[in-house]
Amino acid sequence: MTETVPFEKIGSGRYRIPRHGKMRVDALFYASKEILAGLETEEFASLRQLINVACLPGIVEPALAMPDIHWGYGFPIGGVAAFDAASEGVVSPGGVGYDINCGVRLLASGLDRSDLGAHKKALADALYRLIPAGVGSKRRGEHLAPKELRRLLEQGAAWMVGKGFGDEADLRYLESGGVFANANPDTVSPRALERGAAQLGTLGSGNHFLEVQLVDRIFDRKAAEALGLHLDQITVLIHTGSRGLGHQVCSDYVGTFLKAAPRYGIDLPDRQLAAAPIESSEGEAYLGAMAASANFAFANRQRITASVRAAFEEIGFSPRDHGLRVVYDLAHNNAKFETHRGKKLLVHRKGATRAFGPGHAELPQDYLNVGQPVFVPGDMGRYSFVLVGTDTAMRETFGSSCHGAGRKMSRHRAKREARKRNLIEELGEQGILIRAASRATVDEEMPEAYKDVADVVDVVDTAGIGKKVARLRPLIVVKG
């Protein structure tokens, strides 16, 4: 029989798991009745993972899970945990995940639905051709020499802009300016470099995607105006990360930390939570490698942005016509030093995003009054949301919010269900053009495999840890 998980409702959409057993702090999670029912169906496996996180040394109360929580490996997806180096706090590669600094970037265009009109199919084809997706995909003639790759790992998105892929203005609208300053390429293994070198500027597969979308609802006119969004506008959302380079860095350091943890007396409730003190040689090496991977991810999304612009231009829209500009780029798998409650903490977000409130010093000047943009992709058949961060998030969640819909169906089951249908045709009938490297990826990402992202976003909005601004409906979906 499965052990029960004790929790209590403490407010609108908020639940607390009181400290018990080996937990060092309380855990807090956000859910609706429907989300709670989903957690129960999986016998609270993801809440057990959250409890495991609350057992790690140096964790600062509370261990958190966003409403898109689902069963991950080690940390639950949707998990947020802050650690204090001064209290022997740890860093855990499993708390960041394999796809280091995976994230989403929203581009807003100067085009409306009517401008795209008859060009839609040509745009879908151009995007699919210009942005490599799927296994073994690479950009011809863009294989980086080791010295160049090293510079990229140090400089992030700025390196790409320096090579002519984008504008200086883009960098102002990237989380942390598109660079982790503490990157140390020397701590990245040769195998990780090999995996990454060929994959720069590629989308990958799984849940990664590129969507051309339509702004179909505005919830907060003032915030939408500040972000430059209006009804009927065409936008582009890019979701990808650090590709094989980040995956390998995580694998390498989980192995290292599994050996190191016993030396530091760290009791691991789950091996995938392998951890080492922030201020240890292993911890510092991982943070340097993680930062280098994060910079790879920023550069990857910057390169893809240049290809998106090129695709619009190829089908006849001049740069002045399409006017594609970066609204924001934010990550949902990383660990960052941030100041909360007057302390410098290392905040792990795995399948969770920053959601800094108005006035935060790291926000672009234009967004200071409304808060940091938060993008919450849904499934490819419904919609995605734009939110902004809030003061409540700064107080309650270390300035964090949700990152997506969260799966409710396993990939195996989704493929079984989708086999009976022609999803590409069904979505086409709804006006959504799909371009994908494999049917399998489309099948396992079928809309019904995900929770309705609107439910997730409503919990966030009601709890006040994010504020709804706009809804985006997919028109073209490119997948690996």
Tell me which residues touch another protein (CB under 8 A).
42, 70-74, 77, 94, 97-99, 134-136, 191, 194-195, 198, 204-207, 244, 247-248, 250-251, 254-255, 258-259, 270-272, 274, 407-413, 437-438, 440-441, 444, 480
Q: Which is nearer to another protein, 84 or 444 (CB)?
A: 444
Q: Which is nearer to another protein, 99 or 396 (CB)?
A: 99
**Distance of closest approach, residue 326 Cβ to another protein, in angstroms:** 26
**Distance of closest approach, residue 76 Cβ to another protein, in angstroms:** 9
- Catalytic residue, candidates 20, 247, 403, 412: 403
Q: Which is nearer to another protein, 175 or 444 (CB)?
A: 444
Q: How far apart are CA 440 and CA 442, in angstroms?
A: 5
Annotate the chain with three-state secondary structure: CCCCCCCEEEECCEEEECCCCCCCCCEEEECCHHHHHHHHHCCCHHHHHHHHHCCCCCEEEEEEEEEEEEEEECEEEEEEEEECHHHCCEECHHHCCCCCCCEEEEEEEEEEHHHHHHHHHHHHHHHHHHCCCCCCCCCCCCCCCHHHHHHHHHHCHHHHHHCCCCCHHHHCCEHHHHCCCCCCHHHCCHHHHHHHHCCCCCCCCCCCEEEEEEEEEECCHHHHHHHCCCCCEEEEEEEECCHHHHHHHHHHHHHHHHHHHHHCCCCCCCHHHCCEECCCHHHHHHHHHHHHHHHHHHHHHHHHHHHHHHHHHHCCCCHHHHCCEEEEEEECEEEEEEEECCEEEEEEEECEEECCCCCCCCCCHHHCCCCCEEEECCCCCCCEEEEECCHHHHHHCCCEEECCCCECCCHHHHHHHHHCCCHHHHHHHCCCEEEECCHHHHHHCCHHHECCHHHHHHHHHHHCCCEEEEEEEEEEEEEC
**The tokens of 21 are what?**
């057993």
**Distance of closest approach, residue 409 Cβ to another protein, in angstroms:** 7
Bridge-based pairing of strands 59-73 and 27-30 is: parallel
Q: Which is nearer to another protein, 351 or 399 (CB)?
A: 351
**Distance of closest approach, residue 441 Cβ to another protein, in angstroms:** 5
**Distance of closest approach, residue 258 Cβ to another protein, in angstroms:** 7
Residue 230 is among the residues annotated as catalytic for this protein = no
Q: Which is nearer to another protein, 58 or 204 (CB)?
A: 204
**Distance of closest approach, residue 324 Cβ to another protein, in angstroms:** 28
**Distance of closest approach, residue 117 Cβ to another protein, in angstroms:** 33
Catalytic residues: 403
